[in-house]
Protein backbone atom coordinates (compact mmCIF):
# COMPACT_ATOMS: atom_id res chain seq x y z
CA UNK A 1 0.00 0.00 0.00
CA UNK A 2 1.14 3.52 -0.74
CA UNK A 3 -0.25 6.86 0.42
CA UNK A 4 0.37 10.17 -1.30
CA UNK A 5 -0.70 13.63 -0.20
CA UNK A 6 -2.17 16.28 -2.45
CA UNK A 7 -3.74 18.80 -0.08
CA UNK A 8 -4.21 19.52 3.64
CA UNK A 9 -0.64 18.40 4.23
CA UNK A 10 0.81 20.75 6.85
CA UNK A 11 -2.11 23.02 6.00
CA UNK A 12 -5.83 23.08 6.77
CA UNK A 13 -7.53 23.22 3.38
CA UNK A 14 -7.54 21.33 0.10
CA UNK A 15 -7.89 17.89 1.69
CA UNK A 16 -6.91 15.20 -0.82
CA UNK A 17 -5.21 11.86 -0.11
CA UNK A 18 -4.55 8.99 -2.50
CA UNK A 19 -4.29 5.36 -1.43
CA UNK A 20 -2.98 2.70 -3.83
CA UNK A 21 -3.88 -0.80 -2.67
CA UNK A 22 -5.25 -4.13 -3.94
CA UNK A 23 -4.62 -3.05 -7.51
CA UNK A 24 -6.89 0.00 -7.16
CA UNK A 25 -6.39 3.72 -6.66
CA UNK A 26 -8.61 5.44 -4.12
CA UNK A 27 -8.91 9.15 -3.49
CA UNK A 28 -10.20 10.30 -0.14
CA UNK A 29 -11.64 13.78 -0.68
CA UNK A 30 -10.62 16.33 -3.29
CA UNK A 31 -11.08 19.70 -1.64
CA UNK A 32 -10.44 23.29 -2.56
CA UNK A 33 -7.59 25.33 -1.13
CA UNK A 34 -9.10 28.32 0.68
CA UNK A 35 -7.79 31.53 2.14
CA UNK A 36 -7.70 34.17 -0.60
CA UNK A 37 -7.07 34.94 -4.23
CA UNK A 38 -3.42 33.94 -3.94
CA UNK A 39 -4.57 30.31 -3.77
CA UNK A 40 -6.35 30.42 -7.14
CA UNK A 41 -3.24 29.19 -8.93
CA UNK A 42 -2.88 26.35 -6.44
CA UNK A 43 -6.46 25.21 -7.07
CA UNK A 44 -5.93 25.33 -10.83
CA UNK A 45 -2.52 23.61 -10.69
CA UNK A 46 -1.98 19.96 -11.71
CA UNK A 47 -3.49 17.56 -9.19
CA UNK A 48 -0.27 15.63 -8.76
CA UNK A 49 -1.70 12.36 -10.08
CA UNK A 50 -3.58 11.03 -13.09
CA UNK A 51 -7.27 11.72 -12.49
CA UNK A 52 -8.26 9.07 -15.03
CA UNK A 53 -6.40 6.40 -13.02
CA UNK A 54 -8.51 6.92 -9.87
CA UNK A 55 -11.06 4.13 -9.43
CA UNK A 56 -13.04 5.45 -6.46
CA UNK A 57 -13.41 8.73 -4.65
CA UNK A 58 -14.52 8.36 -1.03
CA UNK A 59 -15.97 11.66 0.18
CA UNK A 60 -15.92 12.24 3.95
CA UNK A 61 -18.22 15.27 3.95
CA UNK A 62 -19.49 18.23 1.97
CA UNK A 63 -17.38 21.17 3.12
CA UNK A 64 -15.73 22.95 0.20
CA UNK A 65 -12.20 22.22 1.43
CA UNK A 66 -13.02 18.51 1.10
CA UNK A 67 -15.21 18.39 -2.03
CA UNK A 68 -14.43 21.63 -3.88
CA UNK A 69 -12.16 20.21 -6.60
CA UNK A 70 -14.47 17.33 -7.58
CA UNK A 71 -15.66 19.10 -10.75
CA UNK A 72 -12.03 19.77 -11.66
CA UNK A 73 -11.17 16.11 -11.03
CA UNK A 74 -13.91 14.97 -13.42
CA UNK A 75 -12.95 17.67 -15.92
CA UNK A 76 -9.44 16.20 -15.94
CA UNK A 77 -10.51 12.64 -16.62
CA UNK A 78 -11.92 10.96 -13.50
CA UNK A 79 -14.56 8.41 -14.52
CA UNK A 80 -14.76 6.36 -11.34
CA UNK A 81 -17.43 6.17 -8.65
CA UNK A 82 -17.91 8.75 -5.91
CA UNK A 83 -19.18 7.18 -2.69
CA UNK A 84 -20.57 9.20 0.23
CA UNK A 85 -23.50 9.19 2.64
CA UNK A 86 -26.86 10.33 1.27
CA UNK A 87 -26.77 13.58 3.26
CA UNK A 88 -23.24 14.35 2.05
CA UNK A 89 -24.28 13.77 -1.54
CA UNK A 90 -27.14 16.29 -1.26
CA UNK A 91 -25.09 18.87 0.58
CA UNK A 92 -22.13 18.51 -1.79
CA UNK A 93 -24.33 19.29 -4.77
CA UNK A 94 -25.47 22.52 -3.08
CA UNK A 95 -21.91 23.48 -2.14
CA UNK A 96 -20.50 22.80 -5.60
CA UNK A 97 -23.28 24.67 -7.38
CA UNK A 98 -22.63 27.68 -5.16
CA UNK A 99 -18.88 27.42 -5.74
CA UNK A 100 -19.33 27.31 -9.52
CA UNK A 101 -21.73 30.25 -9.40
CA UNK A 102 -19.23 32.34 -7.44
CA UNK A 103 -16.38 31.31 -9.76
CA UNK A 104 -18.40 32.25 -12.85
CA UNK A 105 -19.45 35.60 -11.39
CA UNK A 106 -15.89 36.39 -10.35
CA UNK A 107 -14.54 35.45 -13.78
CA UNK A 108 -17.14 37.64 -15.47
CA UNK A 109 -16.26 40.60 -13.22
CA UNK A 110 -12.54 40.18 -13.82
CA UNK A 111 -13.08 39.83 -17.56
CA UNK A 112 -15.09 43.06 -17.58
CA UNK A 113 -12.36 44.90 -15.70
CA UNK A 114 -9.43 43.26 -17.49
CA UNK A 115 -6.90 45.77 -18.79
CA UNK A 116 -5.96 43.67 -21.80
CA UNK A 117 -9.52 42.60 -22.63
CA UNK A 118 -8.72 38.90 -22.37
CA UNK A 119 -11.50 36.70 -20.98
CA UNK A 120 -10.90 35.12 -17.58
CA UNK A 121 -12.05 31.51 -17.29
CA UNK A 122 -13.57 30.20 -14.04
CA UNK A 123 -11.97 27.21 -12.32
CA UNK A 124 -15.08 25.27 -13.29
CA UNK A 125 -18.66 25.89 -14.37
CA UNK A 126 -22.16 24.71 -13.50
CA UNK A 127 -21.85 22.20 -16.35
CA UNK A 128 -18.72 20.78 -14.71
CA UNK A 129 -20.66 20.42 -11.45
CA UNK A 130 -23.40 18.47 -13.21
CA UNK A 131 -20.78 16.13 -14.66
CA UNK A 132 -19.29 15.62 -11.18
CA UNK A 133 -22.66 14.92 -9.55
CA UNK A 134 -23.31 12.26 -12.18
CA UNK A 135 -20.28 10.35 -10.83
CA UNK A 136 -21.96 9.80 -7.45
CA UNK A 137 -22.83 6.13 -7.09
CA UNK A 138 -23.64 4.14 -3.96
CA UNK A 139 -24.90 5.98 -0.89
CA UNK A 140 -23.12 4.73 2.22
CA UNK A 141 -24.96 4.00 5.45
CA UNK A 142 -23.02 4.33 8.70
CA UNK A 143 -21.39 1.01 9.56
CA UNK A 144 -22.30 -0.73 6.29
CA UNK A 145 -19.42 -2.57 4.55
CA UNK A 146 -19.17 -1.93 0.81
CA UNK A 147 -16.98 -4.09 -1.40
CA UNK A 148 -14.98 -2.12 -3.94
CA UNK A 149 -12.98 -5.06 -5.32
CA UNK A 150 -11.70 -8.46 -4.26
CA UNK A 151 -9.88 -7.94 -0.96
CA UNK A 152 -10.91 -4.28 -0.76
CA UNK A 153 -13.79 -3.11 1.44
CA UNK A 154 -14.80 0.28 2.76
CA UNK A 155 -17.16 1.50 5.47
CA UNK A 156 -18.32 4.92 6.66
CA UNK A 157 -18.63 5.83 10.35
CA UNK A 158 -20.27 8.83 12.01
CA UNK A 159 -17.77 11.69 12.39
CA UNK A 160 -20.10 14.12 14.20
CA UNK A 161 -18.75 17.07 12.19
CA UNK A 162 -21.58 18.13 9.87
CA UNK A 163 -24.67 16.33 8.63
CA UNK A 164 -23.60 13.12 6.87
CA UNK A 165 -19.92 13.49 7.75
CA UNK A 166 -17.93 10.29 8.06
CA UNK A 167 -14.70 8.63 9.00
CA UNK A 168 -13.76 6.32 6.13
CA UNK A 169 -12.31 2.89 6.95
CA UNK A 170 -10.53 1.06 4.14
CA UNK A 171 -9.95 -2.66 4.79
CA UNK A 172 -7.37 -4.36 2.58
CA UNK A 173 -6.75 -8.10 2.36
CA UNK A 174 -3.46 -8.53 0.52
CA UNK A 175 -0.77 -11.21 0.58
CA UNK A 176 -2.55 -13.10 3.34
CA UNK A 177 -2.56 -10.01 5.58
CA UNK A 178 -5.51 -7.84 6.55
CA UNK A 179 -4.93 -4.16 7.27
CA UNK A 180 -7.27 -1.33 8.18
CA UNK A 181 -6.58 2.27 7.18
CA UNK A 182 -8.78 4.93 8.77
CA UNK A 183 -9.23 8.40 7.26
CA UNK A 184 -10.74 10.67 9.89
CA UNK A 185 -11.98 13.41 7.59
CA UNK A 186 -12.90 16.23 9.96
CA UNK A 187 -13.58 15.12 13.53
CA UNK A 188 -16.50 16.65 15.38
CA UNK A 189 -16.49 17.54 19.05
CA UNK A 190 -18.48 15.74 21.70
CA UNK A 191 -21.82 17.12 22.86
CA UNK A 192 -22.61 19.18 19.77
CA UNK A 193 -26.28 19.91 19.07
CA UNK A 194 -28.24 18.03 16.38
CA UNK A 195 -25.52 15.47 15.57
CA UNK A 196 -24.23 12.39 17.38
CA UNK A 197 -20.70 12.21 18.78
CA UNK A 198 -17.91 10.77 16.58
CA UNK A 199 -17.72 6.98 16.52
CA UNK A 200 -14.37 5.85 15.07
CA UNK A 201 -13.72 2.15 14.36
CA UNK A 202 -10.42 0.42 15.23
CA UNK A 203 -7.60 0.60 12.69
CA UNK A 204 -3.87 -0.10 12.39
CA UNK A 205 -3.08 2.98 10.31
CA UNK A 206 -4.76 6.30 11.08
CA UNK A 207 -4.83 9.57 9.13
CA UNK A 208 -6.32 12.22 11.38
CA UNK A 209 -6.97 15.91 11.19
CA UNK A 210 -5.29 18.27 13.66
CA UNK A 211 -6.90 21.65 12.98
CA UNK A 212 -7.06 22.43 16.71
CA UNK A 213 -4.28 20.12 17.84
CA UNK A 214 -2.69 22.89 19.91
CA UNK A 215 -5.66 24.39 21.75
CA UNK A 216 -8.84 23.79 23.70
CA UNK A 217 -12.30 25.14 22.95
CA UNK A 218 -14.65 26.65 25.42
CA UNK A 219 -17.49 24.30 26.27
CA UNK A 220 -20.57 24.40 24.00
CA UNK A 221 -22.70 25.66 26.90
CA UNK A 222 -20.32 28.55 27.63
CA UNK A 223 -20.15 29.43 23.95
CA UNK A 224 -23.93 29.51 23.58
CA UNK A 225 -24.20 31.65 26.71
CA UNK A 226 -21.65 34.13 25.31
CA UNK A 227 -23.45 34.30 21.97
CA UNK A 228 -26.80 34.97 23.62
CA UNK A 229 -25.20 37.63 25.84
CA UNK A 230 -23.61 39.42 22.87
CA UNK A 231 -26.82 39.28 20.86
CA UNK A 232 -28.98 40.45 23.76
CA UNK A 233 -26.67 43.34 24.70
CA UNK A 234 -26.14 44.54 21.13
CA UNK A 235 -29.83 44.40 20.26
CA UNK A 236 -30.75 46.22 23.49
CA UNK A 237 -28.40 49.05 22.50
CA UNK A 238 -29.81 49.29 18.99
CA UNK A 239 -26.96 47.67 17.05
CA UNK A 240 -26.87 44.89 14.51
CA UNK A 241 -25.16 41.56 15.10
CA UNK A 242 -23.34 40.26 12.02
CA UNK A 243 -22.32 36.60 12.14
CA UNK A 244 -20.05 35.49 9.28
CA UNK A 245 -20.86 31.81 9.23
CA UNK A 246 -20.21 28.73 7.16
CA UNK A 247 -23.42 27.71 5.42
CA UNK A 248 -23.12 24.09 6.50
CA UNK A 249 -23.39 23.08 10.17
CA UNK A 250 -22.39 26.40 11.70
CA UNK A 251 -25.40 28.36 10.46
CA UNK A 252 -27.74 25.55 11.50
CA UNK A 253 -26.12 25.27 14.95
CA UNK A 254 -26.39 29.02 15.50
CA UNK A 255 -30.05 28.95 14.51
CA UNK A 256 -30.66 25.99 16.81
CA UNK A 257 -29.15 27.96 19.71
CA UNK A 258 -31.07 31.16 18.92
CA UNK A 259 -34.34 29.20 18.65
CA UNK A 260 -33.74 27.62 22.06
CA UNK A 261 -32.88 31.02 23.60
CA UNK A 262 -36.04 32.63 22.23
CA UNK A 263 -38.13 29.69 23.45
CA UNK A 264 -36.56 30.00 26.93
CA UNK A 265 -37.14 33.76 27.07
CA UNK A 266 -33.41 34.56 27.06
CA UNK A 267 -33.89 36.58 23.85
CA UNK A 268 -36.99 38.59 22.91
CA UNK A 269 -39.75 36.81 21.03
CA UNK A 270 -39.94 38.12 17.48
CA UNK A 271 -36.22 38.93 17.38
CA UNK A 272 -35.43 39.65 13.69
CA UNK A 273 -32.94 37.02 12.53
CA UNK A 274 -31.96 36.92 8.86
CA UNK A 275 -30.20 33.95 7.29
CA UNK A 276 -28.72 35.65 4.23
CA UNK A 277 -27.27 32.68 2.42
CA UNK A 278 -29.09 30.69 -0.25
CA UNK A 279 -26.75 27.79 0.46
CA UNK A 280 -27.50 27.84 4.19
CA UNK A 281 -31.22 28.00 3.45
CA UNK A 282 -30.97 25.03 1.10
CA UNK A 283 -28.88 23.17 3.69
CA UNK A 284 -31.59 23.67 6.31
CA UNK A 285 -33.97 21.67 4.12
CA UNK A 286 -31.36 18.90 3.74
CA UNK A 287 -30.92 18.82 7.52
CA UNK A 288 -34.67 18.46 7.94
CA UNK A 289 -34.72 15.58 5.43
CA UNK A 290 -32.15 13.43 7.25
CA UNK A 291 -33.30 12.64 10.80
CA UNK A 292 -31.21 9.45 10.66
CA UNK A 293 -28.23 11.70 11.46
CA UNK A 294 -29.78 13.32 14.57
CA UNK A 295 -28.72 12.80 18.14
CA UNK A 296 -31.25 11.85 20.82
CA UNK A 297 -32.10 15.45 21.78
CA UNK A 298 -32.82 16.58 18.23
CA UNK A 299 -34.78 13.42 17.50
CA UNK A 300 -36.90 13.98 20.63
CA UNK A 301 -37.62 17.60 19.60
CA UNK A 302 -38.86 16.45 16.19
CA UNK A 303 -40.89 13.61 17.74
CA UNK A 304 -42.64 16.19 19.95
CA UNK A 305 -43.65 18.21 16.88
CA UNK A 306 -40.95 20.86 17.20
CA UNK A 307 -38.72 22.49 14.59
CA UNK A 308 -34.93 22.41 14.84
CA UNK A 309 -34.55 25.90 13.41
CA UNK A 310 -37.85 27.77 13.03
CA UNK A 311 -39.10 30.54 15.35
CA UNK A 312 -40.99 33.84 15.17
CA UNK A 313 -38.80 36.53 13.63
CA UNK A 314 -36.76 34.17 11.46
CA UNK A 315 -36.35 35.28 7.85
CA UNK A 316 -34.73 33.04 5.24
CA UNK A 317 -33.23 35.38 2.63
CA UNK A 318 -32.99 33.92 -0.86
CA UNK A 319 -32.82 36.66 -3.48
CA UNK A 320 -30.19 39.32 -4.10
CA UNK A 321 -32.83 42.03 -3.77
CA UNK A 322 -33.82 40.76 -0.32
CA UNK A 323 -30.17 40.70 0.69
CA UNK A 324 -29.55 44.26 -0.49
CA UNK A 325 -32.58 45.45 1.45
CA UNK A 326 -30.88 44.37 4.68
CA UNK A 327 -28.33 47.16 4.16
CA UNK A 328 -31.10 49.57 5.21
CA UNK A 329 -31.39 48.03 8.68
CA UNK A 330 -29.48 50.38 10.98
CA UNK A 331 -29.86 48.25 14.08
CA UNK A 332 -31.80 45.67 16.07
CA UNK A 333 -31.25 42.64 13.83
CA UNK A 334 -29.13 39.51 13.67
CA UNK A 335 -27.73 38.74 10.21
CA UNK A 336 -26.12 35.35 9.57
CA UNK A 337 -24.35 35.25 6.22
CA UNK A 338 -21.53 33.47 4.42
CA UNK A 339 -18.71 33.08 4.08
CA UNK A 340 -17.33 32.26 7.50
CA UNK A 341 -13.87 33.62 6.67
CA UNK A 342 -15.36 36.63 4.81
CA UNK A 343 -13.46 35.67 1.66
CA UNK A 344 -16.63 35.96 -0.45
CA UNK A 345 -20.39 35.81 -0.27
CA UNK A 346 -22.99 38.24 1.01
CA UNK A 347 -21.43 38.81 4.41
CA UNK A 348 -18.85 41.12 2.85
CA UNK A 349 -21.61 43.64 2.03
CA UNK A 350 -22.92 43.47 5.59
CA UNK A 351 -19.40 44.03 6.91
CA UNK A 352 -19.03 47.12 4.72
CA UNK A 353 -22.18 48.58 6.28
CA UNK A 354 -21.64 47.48 9.88
CA UNK A 355 -17.89 47.41 10.57
CA UNK A 356 -17.78 51.25 10.75
CA UNK A 357 -20.66 51.31 13.31
CA UNK A 358 -19.47 51.46 16.92
CA UNK A 359 -22.75 49.99 18.16
CA UNK A 360 -22.61 46.89 15.97
CA UNK A 361 -21.10 43.54 16.88
CA UNK A 362 -19.25 41.21 14.52
CA UNK A 363 -19.26 37.66 15.90
CA UNK A 364 -16.91 35.06 14.46
CA UNK A 365 -17.92 31.52 15.32
CA UNK A 366 -15.41 29.43 13.40
CA UNK A 367 -11.89 28.96 12.15
CA UNK A 368 -10.31 31.84 10.21
CA UNK A 369 -7.27 30.96 8.12
CA UNK A 370 -4.24 33.23 7.86
CA UNK A 371 -4.61 35.88 5.19
CA UNK A 372 -8.42 35.98 5.22
CA UNK A 373 -10.42 39.14 6.02
CA UNK A 374 -11.87 37.35 9.05
CA UNK A 375 -8.43 36.67 10.50
CA UNK A 376 -7.34 40.28 9.90
CA UNK A 377 -10.41 41.59 11.74
CA UNK A 378 -9.91 39.11 14.59
CA UNK A 379 -6.23 40.11 14.86
CA UNK A 380 -7.24 43.73 15.42
CA UNK A 381 -6.70 45.42 12.06
CA UNK A 382 -7.93 49.04 12.26
CA UNK A 383 -9.36 48.68 8.75
CA UNK A 384 -9.69 46.09 6.02
CA UNK A 385 -10.05 46.27 2.26
CA UNK A 386 -13.42 45.17 0.88
CA UNK A 387 -14.43 45.69 -2.74
CA UNK A 388 -11.32 47.79 -3.29
CA UNK A 389 -12.08 50.25 -0.46
CA UNK A 390 -10.69 50.65 3.04
CA UNK A 391 -13.40 49.97 5.62
CA UNK A 392 -12.68 51.13 9.20
CA UNK A 393 -13.28 48.64 12.01
CA UNK A 394 -15.24 50.39 14.77
CA UNK A 395 -17.69 47.61 15.63
CA UNK A 396 -17.11 45.32 18.60
CA UNK A 397 -15.42 42.11 17.47
CA UNK A 398 -16.13 38.82 19.26
CA UNK A 399 -14.58 35.41 18.63
CA UNK A 400 -16.43 32.42 20.07
CA UNK A 401 -14.43 29.34 19.19
CA UNK A 402 -16.58 26.88 21.12
CA UNK A 403 -18.88 26.67 18.10
CA UNK A 404 -16.19 25.03 16.04
CA UNK A 405 -17.31 21.84 14.33
CA UNK A 406 -13.77 20.53 14.81
CA UNK A 407 -12.65 18.60 17.87
CA UNK A 408 -10.18 20.45 20.10
CA UNK A 409 -6.92 19.03 21.40
CA UNK A 410 -8.48 17.04 24.24
CA UNK A 411 -11.20 15.66 21.98
CA UNK A 412 -8.64 14.69 19.34
CA UNK A 413 -6.69 12.79 21.96
CA UNK A 414 -9.86 11.05 23.11
CA UNK A 415 -10.68 10.16 19.51
CA UNK A 416 -7.20 8.69 18.96
CA UNK A 417 -7.61 6.60 22.12
CA UNK A 418 -11.00 5.36 20.92
CA UNK A 419 -9.44 4.11 17.70
CA UNK A 420 -7.05 2.12 19.87
CA UNK A 421 -3.74 0.46 19.11
CA UNK A 422 -2.83 2.28 15.91
CA UNK A 423 0.54 1.11 14.61
CA UNK A 424 1.06 4.33 12.72
CA UNK A 425 -0.54 7.77 12.94
CA UNK A 426 -0.38 10.27 10.09
CA UNK A 427 -1.28 13.85 10.97
CA UNK A 428 -2.93 15.97 8.29
CA UNK A 429 -5.25 18.96 7.96
CA UNK A 430 -3.46 21.23 10.40
CA UNK A 431 -0.99 24.09 10.50
CA UNK A 432 2.54 23.01 11.52
CA UNK A 433 2.29 24.51 15.00
CA UNK A 434 -0.90 22.59 15.78
CA UNK A 435 0.44 19.36 14.31
CA UNK A 436 3.70 19.53 16.24
CA UNK A 437 1.90 20.27 19.50
CA UNK A 438 -0.42 17.32 19.03
CA UNK A 439 2.36 14.96 17.98
CA UNK A 440 4.16 15.76 21.24
CA UNK A 441 1.15 14.35 23.10
CA UNK A 442 1.52 10.93 21.45
CA UNK A 443 4.69 9.54 23.06
CA UNK A 444 5.66 6.12 21.83
CA UNK A 445 3.33 6.36 18.84
CA UNK A 446 4.97 6.39 15.37
CA UNK A 447 3.83 9.69 13.88
CA UNK A 448 4.25 11.08 10.35
CA UNK A 449 3.51 14.62 9.19
CA UNK A 450 3.83 14.43 5.40
CA UNK A 451 4.32 17.45 3.21
CA UNK A 452 2.87 18.23 -0.24
CA UNK A 453 3.26 15.45 -2.81
CA UNK A 454 5.03 13.22 -0.29
CA UNK A 455 4.61 9.43 -0.52
CA UNK A 456 4.43 6.92 2.32
CA UNK A 457 4.77 3.17 1.87
CA UNK A 458 2.68 1.23 4.39
The yes-or-no verdict on residue 454 having pLDDT over 60 is yes
Lowest average pLDDT, out of 104-108, 136-140, 202-206, 293-297, goes to 104-108
* Interatomic CA distance for residues 109 and 103, integer angstroms: 10
The yes-or-no verdict on residue 135 having pLDDT over 70 is yes
Q: pLDDT, tens digit, for every residue of 408-434? A: 999 999 999 999 889 999 999 999 999
The yes-or-no verdict on residue 34 having pLDDT over 90 is no
Q: Tell me, what's the pLDDT at 116?
A: 84
Mean pLDDT across 26-31: 98
Q: What is the mean pLDDT of the chain?
A: 94
Q: How confident is the model at residue 257 (pLDDT cuts 50, 70, 90)?
A: very high
Mean pLDDT across 211-218: 93
Q: Tell me, what's the pLDDT at 132?
A: 98
* Interatomic CA distance for residues 336 and 345, integer angstroms: 11
Q: Tell me, what's the pLDDT at 37?
A: 57
Structural domains present in the chain = 2-215+405-457 (3.60.15.10), 220-403 (3.40.50.10890)
The yes-or-no verdict on residue 101 having pLDDT over 80 is yes
Q: How confident is the model at residue 192 (pLDDT cuts 50, 70, 90)?
A: confident
Query: How many CB atoms neighbour CB 42 within 10 A?
Result: 15
* Interatomic CA distance for residues 428 and 159, integer angstroms: 16
Three-state SS for the chain is CEEEECCCCCCCCCCCEEEEECCEEEEECCCCCCCCHHHHHHHHCCCCCCHHHCCEEECCCCCHHHHCCHHHHHHCCCCCEEEEEHHHHHHHHHHHHHHHHHHHHHHHHHHHCCCCCCCCCCCCCHHHHHHHHCCEEEEECCCCEEEEECCEEEEEEECCCCCCCEEEEEEEEECCEEEEEEECCCCCCCCCCCECCCCCCCCCEEEEECCCCCCCCCCHHHHHHHHHHHHHHHHHCCCCEEEECCCCCHHHHHHHHHHHHHHHCCCCCCCCEEEECHHHHHHHHHHHHCHHHECHHHHHHHHCCCCCCCCCCEEEECCHHHHHHHHHCCCCCEEEECCCCCCCCCHHHHHHHHCCCCCCEEEECCCCCCCCHHHHHHCCCCEEEECCEEEECCCEEEECHHHCCCCCHHHHHHHHHHHCCCCEEEEECCCHHHHHHHHCCCCCCCEECCCCCCEEEC
Strand partners, 180: 171
Lowest average pLDDT, out of 98-107, 154-163, 261-270, 289-298, goes to 98-107
Lowest average pLDDT, out of 72-81, 268-277, 365-374, goes to 365-374
The yes-or-no verdict on residue 369 having pLDDT over 90 is no
Q: Tell me, what's the pLDDT at 368?
A: 83
Mean pLDDT across 155-176: 95
Q: Tell me, what's the pLDDT at 38?
A: 62
pTM of the model: 0.91
- Evaluated on CA atoms 322, 323, 327, 333, the torsion sign reads positive
140 touches 146 (CB < 8 A): yes
Mean pLDDT across 355-364: 96
Q: Tell me, what's the pLDDT at 41?
A: 85
Q: How confident is the model at residue 170 (pLDDT cuts 50, 70, 90)?
A: very high
The yes-or-no verdict on residue 367 having pLDDT over 80 is no
* Interatomic CA distance for residues 130 and 128, integer angstroms: 5
Q: How confident is the model at residue 36 (pLDDT cuts 50, 70, 90)?
A: low
Q: Tell me, what's the pLDDT at 344?
A: 82
Amino acid sequence: MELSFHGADRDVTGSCHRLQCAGRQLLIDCGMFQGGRELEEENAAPLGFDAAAIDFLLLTHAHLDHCGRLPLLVKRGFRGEIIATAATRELAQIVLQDSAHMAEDDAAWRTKHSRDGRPVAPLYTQADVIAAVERFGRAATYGEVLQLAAGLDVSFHDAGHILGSAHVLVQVQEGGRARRVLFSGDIGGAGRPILRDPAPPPAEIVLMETTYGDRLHRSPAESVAELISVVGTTIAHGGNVIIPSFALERSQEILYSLRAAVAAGALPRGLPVYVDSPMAVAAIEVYRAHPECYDAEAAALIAAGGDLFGFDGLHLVRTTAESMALNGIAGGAVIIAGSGMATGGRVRHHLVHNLPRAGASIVFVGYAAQGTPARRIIDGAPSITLFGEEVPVRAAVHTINGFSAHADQAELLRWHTQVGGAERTVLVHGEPQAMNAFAALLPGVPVSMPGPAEHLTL
